[in-house]
Amino acid sequence: MNKTQVNKAPSFVVAEHPCSLLTIPPFPALSGRAYVRDKVCQEYRMLGKENFRTLTIIANSRKYSNGTFEEIGHLVREIVSLAETCCADGADPACYDAGSTALSEKSCSADSPFPAHPGTAECCAQQGLERKLCLAALRHPPQPLARYLQPSDTELCHAFRRDPRQFADRFLYEYSSSYSQAPLPVLLSSTRTFLSMVSTCCISPAPIACFLKEKLERKTLSLLTLMSNRMCSRFSAYGKDKVTSSYLTSLAQKVPTASFEDLLPLAEDAAEVSSQCCDSVAEDCMQKKLLEHTAKVCTALSARDGRFANCCKGKNLMENLFCMLALPPAPAAELPEAPEPTSKELCGKEGALHASRSLFELARRHPSLPDAVLAKLYDSSQKLRGECCSSKDPSACLDSKRKRMEAELSPLLEKASQLCSQYTKLPYLEFKKRLRESLRQAEPEVSPAALEQLLEQRASFASSCCLPDAPPLLCASKVSSELGEACKREPCLLG
């Protein structure tokens, strides 16, 4: 069997078709019931049953990324059955609406086989179209860390030969739920080429050479999937303004000698890429915009920083971007003391810009400070400006609250910087050994069991949150937990 023949196998190859970039709604998601039915039926007829089924697995594995394989399977069977029955020639026009109503009723039953969601009960308290709209809007948060681990080539082929359809279904579920924030076109392309690779190489007379060749061809797409999933996870968690601040502080830590004016346009451009492409169904949006962004970063920073220059030497721009994103913070630079913005500046028309500059100055002087802590400072800064700039005396309000915040901030910055600095420089066992000793000295009265618990808590934070690709929601939770402990003693502005 040649590769062209394999690509025609409908049970495990995603069709390359513009309509396959639409998501499949399990319930009518728009007020025009006929419009939704027509859209789904057009998709079903254009793709055919098997490719429609494949796309439904991907779309719902993304949406319910914490659902089990069995739960996604139940939902997919119901959606495909609904389309098969109600999109047939001569089907009753009311068939789709009645079927989707039955599906929403099943979702609301006590023994529902579909993925659980904390918002389901609230949706099920509603009736009719409102219930369907509510259920259609539910989505699981992204997984903190991608759980898909690619098996060895031998294991892939063994599973493929045993049951090609089951292999494809499980791969689509595991990969799509792990990279649920990657744009749908990127995910479709990545899964399609992976399954094509497996089905080609597992029947090849030279599988080792085949896999090597195919993996090299997929490298750019694999990197695009990984990076776009990380970027869109951060964009989903932070929103455009906060993600701009996140990119700005990250660049400030990597190139502390660069100016605010040099780095802000690059941060804004990265945020704009996410804004335009994370939810886009345009096939090449993310790849095209990321390549343009990479060229801008290389142009701006290659002459300024040797590490960026090395990353920009490669011919593959996607590899160059991956190299830059993976760069650790630079050593702390000798910088003069940064001026503090005045209350007039913070509360003026360009108050947000002055607040961003202040965070930029902090980040470039604390290169080991993790993104999650800087993100918390961004939130606190926004809250401070919101409260004080609308008060009767903004200047007095800002002065008072900033002094309190600085007092709370100092130990947090020192603790987080030291923790992440040691984590990135030391082997893990040595890191834990030193951390245990420093905790024992800082907390001499703590019991051995409590000390071990604190050690694991700090080590968990470091291993999850001190790296450039730290999961934003998980790390925000860990920072809030740490602040919560500190704020039990007295109210905190940062808490």
User: Across the chain, what does the average pLDDT equal?
Assistant: 87
Query: Which pLDDT does position 128 carry in this prediction?
Result: 83
Confidence of residue 212 (pLDDT cuts 50, 70, 90): very high
What does the alpha-carbon distance between residue 455 and residue 82 come to, in Å, rounded to a whole number?
53
Q: What is the mean pLDDT of residues 335-360?
A: 91
Q: Which among 46-55, 316-325, 399-408 has the top mean pLDDT? A: 316-325
Share of the chain above pLDDT 70, in %: 91
Query: Which pLDDT does position 135 carry in this prediction?
Result: 87
Confidence of residue 2 (pLDDT cuts 50, 70, 90): very low
- Answer yes or no: is pLDDT of 11 > 70: no
